[in-house]
Structures are given as C-alpha cells and as structure tokens.
Structure 1
C-alpha cells in the first residue's frame, strides 16, 4: 500500500456529514463499547469529525494525526475539553505500553497498516482493549475514497490484525467499506 495523507487544503471535505453513510457515529460508539472512563485514541483524526462524536463517551481522548496542520484546523474549529492533540505516525506512538483502553480509525487504516504500525498499536493498547477499524474496502467500486489499489481487502486486514496479536471479534464487508472490531 502506498502511504499518503489527506490534503490539508481539502480539510473542509472531512467535515461533510455525508461521511456518516460509511460509518455512523452510533455504529462507531457502539463498536467501541465505552463506559465513559476510558483513554481513547482516534488514529488519523484529521479535523476531528469522529473525535467530536466519541469524546463525550470517553474519559480522555487523543486526536492522533501525522499532520500537525490537521490539528491546527481542528483547534480552529474547536475541540472538546477532553481532547489532547498528538502529532505522530501510528508506527511511532508516544504512549506507554497498555496506556490506551480503546482506539479506532475511520478511513485511515490503509495509511498505516503495515507490520510496524499494527505492532505499535498492539503495544499501546491494554489487554482486552478494543480496536475498531472502518476503512475503504478493496472490494468497493472506488467512487469514494482512495483508488482501490491502495485499499485492503477485508480478509487481508483481518489476517494482518491477527498476525499482530489481535483477536478479531467481528468483521463485515459493506458496499464501499469494511468494519473490524478486534481486541488486544
């Protein structure tokens, strides 16, 4: 998979509520199964579109993005008080072993999902912590999101997560995306 980032000059597109057709806030929050005390990381948070949805259900939130400029856009928009900005690649997270109680990515798995990124995620998640992944499927038609040759097939995403030590609880293919819920 080729690494790329979403262009900051198109950040306003990340605030488009039509994104909920690929993953609703309710679906994401339910998959995370939070009780309100957890430390949660949004991997590839961008402008905080989904961070804003999850933050009310978490104790503390990390908005993780490799582009500090995306954090600038998010700060300008305004972030919930329990959100802390972290500029880092998923393969080099500044968290202690087991520090995170949950993590998720929405449409960014294809940007970081190599062996080092998944190993780092496993290291930072507490035992039994949920990792929720919603991403563009290689089986999709490519009308939205990145080109299909930059996407993972659901079976490959599941196999990669299992190879990194995750237990996959649920995996489903949808019209343009897939959803995987796994535990560390």
Structure 2
C-alpha cells in the first residue's frame, strides 16, 4: 500500500462540502452511536472537516494527524472547545488504554492500515467501543481518491480488524467507498 499522507499544500480540498457525498455527517454520527460525554478520536483528522461534525456531540474529540501543519491550519480555522489536537501516528497514540469510546477514520484508513495501527486501536478503544471506518474501496472505479493500488477491499479490512480482536458489525461496499463498523 502507499501509506502516504495528504499533501498539506492541498489542504483546502479537505474543506470541500462535496466530501459529504461519500459520508454524510448524519451517517457518521449514527455509525458512531456514542453518548454525549464520549471520548472519540478522529484518525487522520486533517483540517477538522469531520472532526467538526463530531465535536458538538461528544465530550472530547481527539483530532489525530501525523502532520502538525494540518493542526496549525485547523487552529487557524478555529478549534472547537471539545477538540484536542494530537500529533501522532495511529500506531503510536499518546492515549491511555481504554481511553476511547470510539474512533473514526474518514478516507484515511489506507494511509495507516497495518497490524501495529490496529493493535494500537485495540489498546485505546475500550471494550464495547466502536471503530468506524469509511475509506476508498479497491473495488471502486477509482474516479476519486487515491490510486486504486493504495486502497483496500472491505473484506480485507474486515479480516484485519477481526485479526486485531474486533467484531465486525457492518461491512459494505459502495460505489467508491466502503463502510466498516467494528466493535472491540
């Protein structure tokens, strides 16, 4: 896989409301299904496009990104009071064990997928907590998003989550994306 990061020079594209055609805010919140006091991590948060959707509905939302420059842009835009910026790789999160009620990844799974990252999610997501993943599918036509060779099929992602100790509750392929909901 490519395991690239999104070019910070193109960060404005992350604020395009057209992104909601791949995953609406309503769909994301419904898949998370967490209480108002929940602690949630947005993995690969970028400039906070989806973090901003989640933040008003949870106690704490950790905006996790490997690029400090993305956090700088997010701060310029305005960090909501419930958001904490965390500069880290998913495979090495500076969070306590069982610290999260849920984690979400929107169009970023292909950037960090691997055994170490999934083991780390199993460590920081509490038992019963969810990980919601919406990403570009390798089964799609590849008209948007990263090159097809950098993408995963939903079945492969589901198998990887199961190998990491998660139970897959939902796994479906759509035209360009897949949705995967896994519970620890």
Q: Which bracket does the TM-score occupy, shorter chain normalised?
A: over 0.9
Q: Aligned residues, how many?
A: 184
Quote the offset at 1:133 in angstroms. Answer: 0.2
Quote the offset at 1:79 in angstroms. Answer: 1.4
Gaps of 5+ in 1: none
Determine the structure 2 residue equivalent to 1:174. 174
Deviation by residue 1:32-66 (Cα, 9 ceiling, x = unmatched) = 00210100000000000000000011011100000
Determine the structure 2 residue equivalent to 1:79. 79
Determine the structure 1 residue equivalent to 2:102. 102
Determine the structure 2 residue equivalent to 1:62. 62
State how far apart, in whole Å, the 1-side matches of 2:147 and 2:174 are.
17
Question: Which 4+ stretches in 1 moved above 6 angstroms?
Answer: none
Determine the structure 2 residue equivalent to 1:137. 137
Gaps of 5+ in 2: none
3-state SS in 1 of match to 2:157: helix
Determine the structure 1 residue equivalent to 2:34. 34
State how far apart, in whole Å, the 2-side matches of 1:161 and 1:69 are.
30
TM-score, scaled to structure 2: 0.99
3-state SS in 2 of match to 1:133: strand
How large is the Cα RMSD of the aligned pairs?
Answer: 0.5
**2:4 aligned with 1:4, yes or no?**
yes
Quote the offset at 1:3 in angstroms. Answer: 1.3
Quote the offset at 1:129 in angstroms. Answer: 0.3
3-state SS in 2 of match to 1:49: coil
State how far apart, in whole Å, the 1-side matches of 2:34 and 2:162 are.
23
